[in-house]
Each structure stands twice: as C-alpha cells, then as structure tokens.
Amino acid sequence: MSIRLGDIAPDFKAETTQGPISFHEWLGDSWGMLFSHPADFTPVCTTELGKTALLKGEFEKKGVKVIAVSVDDLASHNKWVPDIEEVNGVKMNFPIIADSEKVVAGLYDMIHPNASEKATVRSVFIIGPDKKVKLTLTYPASTGRNFQELLRVIDSLQLTAEYSVATPADWKDGDDAIVVPSISTADAILKFPKGVKEVKPYLRYTPQPNK
C-alpha cells in the first residue's frame, strides 16, 4: 500500500524497546516522526539512531515524538541498543519497534523489491496531530538521513499549518515566509501586520508570523 500526503497514517499495535504500543494512542495529540531501518547491527542505522537520541530534546521542543522501526525482533533490538549507546555516547531515549513479521513495513510500503527483496528502505513519515501524513521521504539503504533537514521541514510544516504562508528554497526557522497565492496583496497587508514585500504579484514575502 502506498502512503500519500494527507492520508491517515496506518494504526498498528507493536512491541518496542520501551514496551507495547498502539501507534495512534502513543502519538496522542503530538506530531510524530516514524522512520525505518533496513536491519539491526548495520553501520548507517547505528549512526542514525544515535543522532536521533542526541537530538531528541530538539524534537521535543517542537512537540514531536520520534519512533524507529526495524524488521528484526525485540531481542535483537535490545542487544543492539548498547552498541548504539557506545558508538554515539548517548542513552537510547526513544522506542524502536520490533517488526520481524514486517507488518509495519507493509502498512507503510517500506520494502521496495527492486531495491531489496528483504530490507526496508530508509523511509521517514512526519505525522500531524490529526494523524495525517504531512511529509514522506525515502532514501536508499546506503544513504543516511540528514536530521537537521528533518528538523527544518518540521519547522516549515508546523508554520504553514497555522498560517497562510509557504516557505521558500533553503528556508530555515526565522527567515521570511511567502504569502500563499490565494491571498490578495491587499488582504495580505491586513493579515500580516509585520509587513508584506511584493517581488512579483505572485511572490510576496512577510516576516515569519510566529516570531
């Protein structure tokens, strides 16, 4: 099953390194980031999970819960965790889903047979408080993710969910945003009291509204 933007993120029950969960219940009213790993005891995954643990406080500031999934069993995960902690100098502080039956991998279309018949791709799903999928990213198994970019896109998703703006190329938190085309310039001037700069009739900038 292919997951598209705006779809309700599939719910599931699973065992994790922090106990059993029901996914939607675990998310509650928070944003969430679900990200997959091809297998335990693999080098790229070990660095990614450590980086996520190091950045967990940054995700929490944005109201985002993080959870990983790997198609190995819970015993394997628990044996792997000490390696992650040792290599990255961090304590694992978020759950890893055990998915030996590939239930979650199937629900979220994480196995791409033309890339690998067995291993999952490196998929990322950002999920909103409404349980809808807001962003998907898919990397090959060989390429580690840029977690600063994931934090950046979360900033953009949360900003644009609350205000009638979009974010331009290379935008980062604190930069000017773009007024969406559906709002006239006259209305934008009223809506955004910090100011509106018109570059083209269809390209108007305003200081980030929530700063």
Catalytic residues: 45
Q: What are the C-alpha distances in Å from 111 to residues 102, 136, 173?
A: 9, 14, 33
Cβ–Cβ < 8 Å for 196, 204: yes
Q: What are the C-alpha distances in Å from 62 to residues 51, 78, 114, 152?
A: 17, 28, 36, 11
Distance between CA atoms of residues 11 and 108, nearest Å: 10
Cβ–Cβ < 8 Å for 62, 158: yes
Give the sheet arrangement for strand 203-206, strand by strand. 165-166, 177-179, 203-206, 197-200
